[in-house]
């Protein structure tokens, strides 16, 4: 076995370190070198116990035993936080003294040595440790104390305070038969570094604790905000739906009380418009959770605006004059007609609220050339839609927040604050742009830019087509209507029967299975809601189709999971009909799937 390295102190005897060092360095210098090596590790974010171990292993190279004593939370008693001796030696010492290490607690004032270090902040040399140990453990025989001190190398001792800033939190105790008073500087340096490291660990632990508390507080705050938003939203939605229901019920009473020959078309228009507004409000709510998938067709925006002109004339009231301005050129766009109609209707309703004493509402269309575009849009030709009112207008601060979700200038409970936010989302889904210009007292103008479509094939949209094309007749074909809502089930059945269909209805899966078992393979089309009570609509239809291989399928829903359910419907080649739908929408969908046109 080779001897110790010439540049390192002897691992056996601390006092001979300078003798074994050709460079002539003192033992304190070697302790400082070891301190420098330990410091880089101690400041690396290690746990407290690991830091104690680093100190102990560093000093052990000089035959030094190390004890770390810390004050308890009350700062009244010291306890052993670390002991560098091996577990075997510690167990032998516990057996000799008749107590366990975790029972070793005492007040610093018990001995002059510990009092001076912990209470006065001195670094103290003690030549014989046995006397202090007898004062701490008076119940242990003196002979056992001497054996414990010899076993653990508690002979001459230096104690140095551990500081957390200016506050003493304990003491570092270094013991050996080789220590002299001159070694107290090196021990104090070790204690200073150990105290600084413990302070960093405490601050880091406190920072992490506060971060956890902050996160918990943030989570609670978000939950409270969500509850508040839901409460506000529920109140606003309830207000809007109650208005719609009130308009429907009053119009129904007018129709019911009308004398023979009295024109009730205006009352029917109010009912239809209220249903459209209710459907739009539901779609706004659904848009909060996720973006709806588009159902794009190529259509002429002039035709769309023309259809809306007739609707808005009847719905907005006599004191609102609707004006349409159509620019030159073909203004085709590729988009979801129903969603873009929803955008314009929302803007028109906002304009109505902004003109409490009436005024003029202008819907304008035009072509926007590439050199007339906002910077946010890529080059190209765009179709421009403008909605302008003569209302109260908005100041700059209100304009800046106009498209924020839940922001509204109406009194609490009088609006959801979703209309403009959802409208902007829909326009951006169409790769378009939406902006606003307004001044207090001078009205407001919303501008929408949509990419112009090149396709020559254009339709006026489902609503316009329905106005000119009579719905197809059922021709005696058989429909199975599966719907858990009794009002919807009964109404759909009556509409289909009037359209020439023979109808069987079922309120749930068991009733549907019973109908199939009764009539066999005579069913031509299954009309089924996706969300049924206690059953999944698509799974039920998959089961029934196994017994009805020639039957076509129309699935309906007012809340479709875009990714899962829509993909499933497409995979089977079924038709999807979104609620709320019209009589013509229903008859057209049923006829098309029955004829094999999906």
Which residues are CB-neighbours of 212 under 8 A, at least 6 positions away? none
- Strands 167-176 and 65-71 turn out to be antiparallel
Enter the DSSP assignment of 530: S
Residue range(s) occupied by CATH 3.30.450.40 in the chain: 14-206
pLDDT tens digits for 245-287? 787 888 888 888 888 888 888 888 888 887 877 876 776 566 5
Q: What is the C-alpha to C-alpha distance for residues 552 and 543, in angstroms, rounded to an integer?
A: 13
pTM of the predicted protein model: 0.43
C-alpha span between 118 and 109 (Å, rounded): 9
* Tokens 């050339």, located at residue: 369
Strands (E), 264-353: 297-300, 320-326, 332-335
Joined together, the tokens standing for residue 523 give 């069913």
DSSP state of 314: H
Q: What is the pLDDT of residues 341-351, one digit of tens each?
A: 878 887 888 88
Which CATH entry fits the domain spanning 470-594: 3.30.10.20, 3.40.50.2300, 3.40.190.10, 2.60.210.10?
A: 3.40.50.2300
Report the alpha-carbon distance of residue 270 to residue 314 in Å, rounded. Answer: 8
Taking only the tens of pLDDT, the chain with its 598 residues reads 333 333 333 333 344 443 344 334 455 565 556 566 656 555 556 677 777 877 777 777 777 888 899 999 899 999 998 888 877 888 888 888 777 877 789 999 999 999 999 999 999 999 888 888 888 888 888 888 888 888 887 888 899 999 988 899 999 998 887 777 877 788 888 888 888 888 888 888 888 889 888 888 877 766 665 665 566 556 656 767 777 778 788 888 888 888 888 888 888 888 888 787 787 677 656 655 444 556 688 999 998 898 888 777 766 777 889 999 998 888 899 988 878 887 888 788 888 888 888 899 999 999 988 888 888 888 888 999 999 999 888 888 888 887 776 566 555 544 444 567 778 888 888 899 999 999 898 899 999 999 998 754 444 443 444 434 445 565 789 999 999 888 888 888 988 998 899 999 999 999 999 999 998 788 999 999 988 878 888 999 999 998 888 899 999 887 655 556 667 787 888 998 888 888 888 999 999 998 874 4
- Confidence at residue 95, expressed as pLDDT on a 0 to 100 scale: 83
Q: Which residues belong to CATH 3.40.50.2300 in the chain?
A: 470-594
Please tell me the predicted confidence (pLDDT) of residue 226: 60
The pLDDT value given to residue 544: 93
CATH code for the domain defined by 14-206:
3.30.450.40
Q: Is 275 helix (H, G, I), strand (E, B) or coil?
A: helix
- pLDDT tens track for 384-423: 999 999 988 888 888 888 777 656 655 554 444 456 777 8
CATH 3.30.565.10 residue ranges for the chain: 291-462
Among 502, 584, 567, 475, CA closest to 530: 567
Is the domain covering 291-462 a CATH 2.30.30.100 domain?
no
Q: Look at phi and psi of residue 168 and say left if phi exceeds 0, alpha if psi is from -120 to 50, else beta.
A: beta
User: Phi and psi for 481 in degrees, rounded to 5?
Assistant: -100, 115
Query: What are the tens digits of pLDDT across the range 202-215?
Result: 888 888 889 888 88
CA distances from 253 to 243, 247, 248, 267, 271 (A): 15, 10, 9, 9, 11
């Amino acid at each position: 076995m080779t001897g110790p390295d010439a540049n390192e102190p002897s691992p056996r005897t601390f006092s001979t370190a300078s003798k074994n060092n050709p460079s002539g360095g003192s033992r304190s210098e070697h302790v400082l070198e070891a301190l420098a090596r330990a410091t880089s590790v101690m400041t690396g974010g290690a746990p407290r116990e690991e830091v104690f171990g680093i100190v102990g292993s560093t000093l052990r190279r000089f035959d030094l035993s190390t004890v770390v004593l810390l004050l308890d939370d009350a700062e009244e008693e010291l306890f052993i936080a670390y002991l560098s001796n091996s577990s075997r030696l510690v167990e032998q010492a516990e057996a000799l003294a008749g107590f366990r290490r975790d029972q070793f607690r005492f007040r610093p004032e018990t001995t002059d040595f510990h009092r001076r270090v912990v209470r006065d902040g001195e670094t103290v040399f003690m030549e014989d440790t046995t006397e202090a140990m007898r004062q701490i453990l008076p119940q242990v025989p003196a002979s056992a104390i001497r054996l414990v001190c010899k076993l653990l190398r508690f002979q001459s001792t230096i104690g140095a305070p551990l500081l957390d800033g200016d506050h003493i939190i304990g003491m570092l105790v270094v013991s050996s038969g080789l220590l002299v008073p001159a070694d107290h500087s090196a021990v104090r340096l070790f204690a200073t570094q150990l105290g600084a490291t413990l302070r960093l660990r405490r601050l880091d632990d406190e920072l992490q604790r506060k971060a956890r508390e902050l996160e918990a507080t943030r989570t609670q705050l978000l939950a409270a905000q969500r509850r508040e938003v839901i409460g506000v939203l529920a109140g606003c939605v309830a207000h809007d739906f109650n208005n719609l229901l009130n308009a429907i019920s009053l119009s129904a009473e007018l129709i019911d009380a009308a004398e023979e020959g009295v024109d009730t078309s205006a009352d029917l228009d109010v009912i239809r418009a209220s249903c459209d507004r209710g459907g739009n409000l539901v779609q706004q709510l659904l848009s909060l959770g996720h973006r709806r998938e588009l159902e794009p067709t190529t259509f002429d925006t002039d035709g769309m605006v023309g259809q809306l002109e007739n609707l808005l004339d009847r719905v907005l009231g006599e004191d609102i004059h609707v004006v349409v301005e159509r620019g030159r050129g073909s203004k085709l766009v590729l988009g979801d007609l129903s969603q873009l109609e929803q955008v314009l209707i929302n803007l028109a309703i906002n304009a109505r609220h902004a003109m409490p004493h009436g005024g003029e509402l202008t819907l304008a269309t035009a072509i926007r050339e590439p050199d007339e575009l906002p910077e946010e849009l890529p080059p190209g030709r765009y179709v421009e839609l403008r909605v302008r009112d003569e209302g109260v207008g908005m100041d700059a601060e209100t304009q800046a927040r106009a498209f924020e979700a839940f922001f509204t200038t109406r009194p609490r409970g009088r609006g959801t604050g979703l209309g403009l936010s959802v409208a902007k989302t829909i326009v951006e889904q169409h790769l378009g742009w939406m902006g606003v210009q307004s001044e207090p007292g001078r009205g407001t103008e919303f501008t929408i830019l949509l990419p112009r479509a090149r396709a020559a094939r254009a339709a006026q949209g489902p609503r316009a087509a329905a106005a000119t094309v009579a719905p197809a007749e059922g021709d005696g074909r058989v429909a199975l209507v599966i719907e858990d809502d009794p009002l919807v089930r009964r109404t759909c059945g009556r509409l289909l029967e009037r359209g020439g269909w023979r109808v069987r209805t079922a309120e749930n899966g068991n009733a549907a299975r019973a109908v199939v078992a009764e009539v066999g393979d005579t069913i031509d089309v299954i009309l089924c809601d996706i969300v049924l009570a206690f059953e999944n609509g698509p799974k039920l239809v998959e089961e029934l189709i196994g017994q009805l291989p020639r039957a076509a399928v129309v699935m309906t829903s007012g809340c479709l999971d875009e990714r899962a359910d829509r993909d499933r419907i497409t995979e089977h080649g079924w038709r999807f009909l979104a609620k709320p739908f019209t009589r013509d929408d229903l008859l057209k969908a049923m006829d098309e799937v029955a004829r094999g046109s999906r």
